Amino acid sequence: MDETSGAREELDRLGRSLRKQLVLLITDLTVRVHLRRLSLDEPKVADRREPLRHHYATVYQGDRPKTATAAETAARAAFLLRTAGWDVTTSQENDDGILWTVVDAHRDGSRIRVLTSDDTPAVAFRGQTPALVLRPSRPGGS
């Protein structure tokens, strides 16, 4: 079936925008960057109920510089995202004894999460676009 008018173009635009923002964050906040691990090549099925919804989604992990604390890294991430027009909140999450500082950002239905902790040099980046219907439902729902 034909793609819903303009939906794929909009999803691709959102995916490109998300990738651009993630590249800026990753290259600014981490060392030894390997962007080939940042896969946002094709949309994935986000919801299998008819009509199928697709989104771009990725996870990337890098290490912050040895001289940067988790608080500094989170503050820099929040600054970069706010400057780019994202709505940003910062919180703390405990995961099996590791206290993470989490920067959560939303814009145009897309979401970016940056997680960092003084317990580890790792900085995790998670990004996803909103889920859009690319094709109309099939007759009979299958």
SS3 for the chain is: CCCCCCHHHHHHHHHHHHHHHHHHHHHHHCECCCHHHCCCCCCEEEECCCCCEEECEEEEEEECCCCCCHHHHHHHHHHHHHHCCCEEEEEEEEECCEEEEEEEEEECCEEEEEEEECCEEEEEEEEECCCEECCCCCHHHC
72-130, pLDDT tens digit by residue?
999 999 999 999 999 999 999 999 899 999 999 999 999 999 999 999 999 999 999 99
Instruction: Quote the pLDDT of residue 139.
Output: 60
pTM beyond 0.75, yes or no: yes
47-74, pLDDT tens digit by residue?
888 899 999 999 999 999 999 999 999 9
